[in-house]
Amino acid sequence: MPAWLTILLVMGLVIAVLTPSRQQFAWFLRLRRPRWLTFERWIPVIWSVIYLCFYASALIRWWAGGVTAPLAMVGYLVLLVLVQSYTLLICRTRRLAWGTAAGLAGWLWGLGLALALLSVSRPASLLLAPFLLWSPIGTVVTWRMQKLNR
Report the 3 state secondary structure along 61-100. HHHHCCCCHHHHHHHHHHHHHHHHHHHHHHHHHCCHHHHH
CA atoms of 20 and 97, how far apart (whole Å): 17
Mean pLDDT across 114-119: 97
Distances (CA, A) of 88 to 37, 67, 93, 138: 21, 34, 8, 15
Give 72's pLDDT tier (boundaries 50, 70, 90).
very high
Determine if the pTM surpasses 0.85.
Answer: yes
CA atoms of 95 and 135, how far apart (whole Å): 18
Residue 36 maps to a domain: no
Residue 66 maps to a domain: yes
Averaged pLDDT of the chain: 95
Give 150's pLDDT tier (boundaries 50, 70, 90).
confident
Domain total in the chain: 1
Residue 27 maps to a domain: no
Give 57's pLDDT tier (boundaries 50, 70, 90).
very high
Residue 142 maps to a domain: yes
Give 98's pLDDT tier (boundaries 50, 70, 90).
very high
